[in-house]
Structure 1
Amino acid sequence: MTPDARDLTLVPLETPTGANLILGHAHFIKTAEDLYEAVVNSVPGVKFGIAFSEASGPRLIRSEGNDDALTRAAERELQKIACGHAFLIFLVGAYPINLLRDIRACVEVCAVHCATANPVTVVVLRDGDSGAILGVMDGLGPKGIETPGDARERRDFVRTIGYKRS
């Protein structure tokens, strides 16, 4: 293909209110089901929706989840990205840190591009019917360097929310 037939695109994701997301790359038709099991076994009671894009055969977006709105949102946003073998999980009632290890351990998962509650824009290279996630813009750039007071606030915060011992 000629260089001008390729298209670099920025795809801003619309995350449901109060949700976190995990965006990654995987392979194989059972990815959505295996990710479902990883989520429910990591954080019982979490609400979530998963979508996974096939890259060959019927090239469908496969989905699983226990919350219809989050599942539909994952399908919609993954369709905007339009890259084969990508997956997207929206979570409410848990943070990615609670299950990221189990997501990475899923045998189909090749990479996790981001896990965040921040605004996300996906950088996609299109070439005909193919697409590649080149990277993500996760949140905003830094405004400065942490001061000793900022460090105290950060350390206090992670203890307040229970991620470090007091």
Structure 2
Amino acid sequence: MASEIKQLQVSRRFVNRYLLAVIALGLIHHVDHALRWDHSGWPIRGDTHVPGAGIVTPFTYSLLIYPVLLSMFFVGNKVYRIVAGLAPLALVLWAHLTIEPVPHIYRTWADNRVPGGTFEGFPNLLNLGSPAVGGLAVGLLFVLGLALAVLPFLIWREEPASRGTAAGAASRRAS
């Protein structure tokens, strides 16, 4: 099995498609943040009549991960791509182990109220109390975390650029 992993090679095209899936999962997770409302911020919470609503928060800064992820389509440097793939994983782990733990995510949906913090007692924006939706939100977070953990490995195992070209194929046949 270890030798199979050592020999695993994936195409840049596969990695790019995987990256698109990761971006889609991230966007869905950010929509979940926005719908829970308590762990979002500008530009989602623009209500100035609610204290703390229109402020820049960690959520606002987390949106900056999308330009980083999108840059991976255009930058060929493998070290950059691996580090850019590790950054969102580190941020997701940090945010959901410190600022907004998993039980908080679940309870906000299951009970239709924020379980603690500045916005304790506020409902989610759908005004929906559903343990199933809470489970889906937590499941999404875990799938996103797993997908982010796999991304740097896939980049590391990416085929060299010459493999997909006619010149690269000719050099492999010659050897």
Higher helix share: 2
Report the TM-score, using the length of structure 1 for normalisation. 0.28
Higher strand share: 1
User: Larger Rg: 1 or 2?
Assistant: 2
Report the TM-score, using the length of structure 2 for normalisation. 0.27
